[in-house]
């Protein structure tokens, strides 16, 4: 039985020599595949770690830029609001000063003094006063006449 492909290992276990060789080759290929797969998975995990860190860095940078832009915008809006309030306050004070000056003028206004001054000017040059009164009368007449004509 020299040409037989069976070999007796144990009393009841028969295996072919080709099957033993093929089994060893399969186990060797499986071990190589396992190591290559583990290597590829390790490489993929490393890539994912790197990409994850890169994504975090980019996202953090974007968030920081957005924060800076918003803070800059808020700062500018705050500055604009304070400037507007300051201008409004300044205008309020200027208006109050004009009203105070007008109030002082009205308090100091002496009708009798103005009347006496006007009488003296009219007496000194009556032709100018009559001419001014004439033009004033014509202007009033034209305004009143135009009002009644448009009705």
Q: What is the mean pLDDT of residues 55-65?
A: 83
> Greater confidence, 112 or 151?
112
d(CA 82, CA 79): 5
Can you give the pTM of this predicted structure? Answer: 0.38
Structure token digits, residue 92: 């309020």
Q: What is the pLDDT of residues 140-150, one digit of tens each?
A: 999 898 888 77
Residue 139: its pLDDT value, please? Answer: 94
Q: How far apart are CA 7 and CA 14, in angstroms?
A: 6
pLDDT at 18: 57
Rg for the chain, CA atoms, rounded: 55
**17: confidence class by pLDDT, cuts 50, 70, 90:** low
Both tokens assigned to 150:
């448009």
Confidence label for 20 from pLDDT (cuts 50, 70 and 90): low
Would you state the structure tokens that stand for residue 140, as one six-digit string?
Answer: 């009033």
Helix (H) or strand (E) holding 7: strand 6-8
């Amino acid at each position: 039985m020299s040409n037989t492909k069976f070999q007796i290992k144990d009393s009841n276990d028969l295996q072919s020599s080709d099957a033993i060789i093929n089994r060893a080759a399969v186990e060797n290929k499986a071990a190589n595949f396992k190591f290559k797969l583990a290597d590829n998975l390790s490489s993929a995990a490393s890539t994912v770690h790197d990409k994850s860190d890169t994504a975090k860095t980019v996202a953090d940078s974007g968030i920081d830029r957005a924060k800076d832009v918003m803070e800059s915008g808020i700062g500018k809006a705050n500055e604009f609001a304070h400037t507007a309030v300051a201008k409004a306050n300044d205008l309020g004070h200027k208006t109050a000063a004009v009203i105070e000056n007008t109030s002082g003028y009205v308090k100091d206004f002496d009708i009798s003094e103005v009347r006496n001054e006007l009488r003296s000017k009219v007496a000194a040059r009556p032709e100018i006063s009559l001419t001014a009164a004439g033009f004033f009368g014509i202007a009033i007449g034209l305004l009143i006449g135009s009002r009644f004509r448009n009705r």
